[in-house]
Structure 1
């Protein structure tokens, strides 16, 4: 079991601020779902709830429960089978599987290389499984952009946190709840696909 990091070392604000952010986000999301057909809306609602729980749990406890991430891989594959634009279920399954293996494989390789070079774990297995979730929902094409958004958000969060606390630099040993940045990125890019919005970049 992982140790829980002291409150002063966390990247995110307190529970009260998070609650208000969650309420505002939920209100905006409810309005968004009204624009989406019922079946895509059901998948999106599931993803929203799952990613919100992962974000909050990883934020507070630095863990990503398998009971949330593993079913999300299967549901992501199902969503691609049912909702794939061309209506080809085999193509949808292949799209989701390719993304899941690409995401999980890339993060596992990164984890192994970092451990080999530094002798410490830079990524938890929970992050590896969440990367597989990202690929299962988004497919291989959108996966790099989602990971880039999560990484940039994490860097920005750490820098702002340090600035607010008067720190001049970043401690390389500081633990970061990276899943709390990956999960929102998955949701953002999935909604973009559902609404057929142009890529962010």
Structure 2
């Protein structure tokens, strides 16, 4: 853990809060925020050496690819979008900041948060839920765990 990583926590939190609010209201995760997060994560990995850069680059690529494939399969089976490219880019950003090995943790935290919300609010089957806020939550919790 470096001082730069600790200082990066505040802008990361602000970006993730902003993304969550936008996704709740508009059901989009804008590239103007998600793509710079990918670049910032990869840039931050430079501080930890070449191995970290490779781990984070693989994380960024894997994060995007996993969600892209899931979204594409869902679309082909159902005929409508269930997981958008914004989610894939946000998951890519998580991989860029945390490395590929943290992606299952991010996804687990996000999924459990979303399922808990659905259970607590009596969400009706068939209604869409914005997954971006939960990805933001999983991303940030995983980042904080990395700093401990």
Which category describes the TM-score, using the shorter chain as reference length? over 0.9
Structure 1 CA distance, aligned partners of 2:108 and 2:130? Answer: 16
Match of 1:70 in 2: 35
Q: Could you give the per-residue CA deviations for residues 144-199 of structure 1, whole angstroms, max 9, x where no partner exists?
A: 1110110111111122111xxxx6xx322x1211000001111111111112xxxx
Q: CA deviation at 1:116?
A: 1.2
Report the TM-score when normalising by structure 2: 0.93
Q: Tell me: higher relative CO, structure 1 or 2? Use CA pairs within 8 A at least 6 residues apart.
A: 2
User: Equivalents in 2 of 1:154, 1:103: separation in Å?
Assistant: 19
Q: Quote the residue 2:94 is aligned against.
A: 134
* Unpaired runs of at least 5, structure 2: none
Give the TM-score normalised by the residue count of structure 1.
0.70
Report 1:42-81 matches (<5 A): 42-81=7-46
Residue among 46, 49, 57 paired with 1:97: 57
| Structure 1, gaps ≥5 residues long | 1-35, 196-201
CA RMSD, aligned part only? 1.5
* 1:171 match: 125
Separation of aligned partners in 2, 1:105 and 1:181: 19
State the distance in 2 between where 1:76 and 1:128 align: 15
SS in 1 for 2:51: helix
Shift of 1:37: 5.7
Could you tell me how far 1:52 is from its partner in structure 2? 1.0
Question: Once superposed, which parts of structure 1, at least 4 consecutive aligned residues long, lie more than 3 Å away?
Answer: none
Q: Secondary structure at the match of 1:127?
A: helix
Question: Following the alignment from structure 1 to structure 2, what is the Cα–Cα distance between the partners of residues 154 and 57?
Answer: 17
Number of residue pairs matched?
Answer: 148
Are residues 1:187 and 2:147 paired? no
